[in-house]
Amino acid sequence: MLGGVENSDRQRAALRAATLTGALAAALALSGRQADSAASAPAGAGATYRVVIDPGHGGTDPGAIGNGIVEKEINLEVALKLRDLLVLDTGDGGGGAAWDVLMTRTDDASVSLGSRTSLANSWPADYFVSIHHNAFSSSSANGTESFSFSEGSTSAFVRDNLQSELLAAHGLLDRGSKTANFFVLRETAMPAALTEAGFLSSPVDAAVLSAPGSTDRAAQAHLFALQRSVGVAPYLPSDGPSNYCVNTVNPIGCSPTISATGSPSLSGPAVQIVGDQILSRQFGLMIWSRTQAATPFFGGTLCVGGSIVRTPIQFSNGFGPQDCSGRFEFTMDAAFLGASGVAPGEEIFAQYWFRDPTALGVGLTDGVRLTIRP
């Protein structure tokens, strides 16, 4: 952990902190301009589950249209993101499950209902999930509902999981889990469910469904529901933290870097964010936000933008007054994340700033990108 400040140096520390904070505020201002079968899925450790994802409508069939949203387009967007999450989940050994995925369409193609069910039956799939959005003649109709062919079935279990997760993702009215004689539910030979995330004809629902990140949340909701359906805890897969942005290399050759171990979780172990090659014995700020930036500043790049969270002033330690042995470790735990109001699936962006008397006044690491897990 970072060292403290000697009592005798408190006034100087406060002055340096104020200088760095002022530089940060200026930089942020600059950035701102710029039929259900009895068949069951395979079980047991190491099982791989076959899932057919069915983006409803497509091609000459647009589906519902309302408030600037076309159903066939938003269905496909959610479905493709779900496919990518299932692939990522398969390769992430930290949790979740393993999946084989087939899509009934991957572009704006016309696909018959018979072709959709035949694909699933001939593979054969273990699960079939059809993704839809609703509409009605009255704009007052709103809310989320999910369907299976019958009650008391595996399909109904999957349907209920989907309904629960979509409600958590979008916060819309709960219209309930229901049964329906839909072709893709009746003619599939495996557990099958169909979701209607909200009404495109409702201004209330449409505002939520078109908001930034909405299709990501919907895809994650479908992922979590499938995970629950095969008996594993909801888990947002990740290929790990990644770096972006450009650091500041100072005149004596320090090239400060930032890295992270693991991915932050609202319920799991803490993540250590580590900085190396920091100019030693200097005060700094660990900052993070939900917004990535790339604004040239102080010979490097301001890597975060928008609303930020700052830690207390930190000290980089090190051996000499002006060498590259400075290092910091910052613990980002579940309590810290919870207090910040972040949600599963959100990305966060972090960067370390420190006082650099050898250059223009501020040293910058590169940025590190992390995805919040449940």
Question: Same domain, yes or no, for 300 and 362?
Answer: yes
Contact between 298 and 360 (Cβ < 8 Å): yes
Question: Same domain, yes or no, for 309 and 362?
Answer: yes
Whether a cis peptide bond, with omega within 30° of 0, leads into 374 is: no
CATH number of the domain that 297 lies in? 2.60.40.10
Question: Same domain, yes or no, for 73 and 184?
Answer: yes
pTM of the entire predicted model:
0.63
Question: Same domain, yes or no, for 127 and 242?
Answer: no
Question: Same domain, yes or no, for 289 and 225?
Answer: no
CA distances from 83 to 52, 101, 223 (A): 9, 7, 9
Residue 43 lies in a domain: no
**Domain end position, chosen among 229, 249, 282:** 229
Task: Say if residue 181 is exposed, middle or buried (CB neighbours under 10 Å; 0-12, 13-18, 19+).
Answer: exposed
What is the Cα Rg of the chain in Å? Answer: 25
Residue 2 lies in a domain: no
Task: Say if residue 193 is exposed, middle or buried (CB neighbours under 10 Å; 0-12, 13-18, 19+).
Answer: buried
Question: Same domain, yes or no, for 99 and 194?
Answer: yes
Instruction: Domain count for the chain, please give it.
Output: 2
Domain of residue 221 covers 48-229
Dist CA 56 CA 182 (whole Å):
12
Question: Same domain, yes or no, for 199 and 83?
Answer: yes
Is 71 part of the annotated catalytic residue set? Answer: no
Question: Same domain, yes or no, for 243 and 223?
Answer: no
**Domain end position, chosen among 175, 198, 229:** 229
Contact between 158 and 150 (Cβ < 8 Å): no
Residue 246 lies in a domain: yes
Residue 143 lies in a domain: yes
Please choose, from the candidates 50, 48, 372, 45, the residue with its C-alpha nearest in 3D space to the C-alpha of residue 220.
372
Question: Same domain, yes or no, for 63 and 149?
Answer: yes
Residue 267 lies in a domain: yes
Per-residue pLDDT of the chain (374 residues), as tens digits, is 223 333 344 445 554 555 555 555 554 444 443 344 434 444 444 699 999 999 999 999 999 999 999 999 999 999 999 999 999 898 777 789 999 999 999 999 999 999 999 999 999 999 999 999 999 999 999 999 999 999 999 999 999 999 999 999 999 999 999 999 999 999 999 999 999 999 999 999 999 999 988 999 999 999 999 999 999 999 888 767 888 888 888 888 889 999 988 778 777 788 889 999 998 888 888 888 888 888 887 677 889 988 888 887 677 888 877 788 998 888 888 888 888 788 777 788 999 998 888 866 888 999 998 888 76
Question: Same domain, yes or no, for 220 and 352?
Answer: no
**Domain end position, chosen among 184, 211, 229:** 229
Question: Same domain, yes or no, for 131 and 221?
Answer: yes
- Among residues 165, 196, 346, 347, the one annotated as catalytic is 196
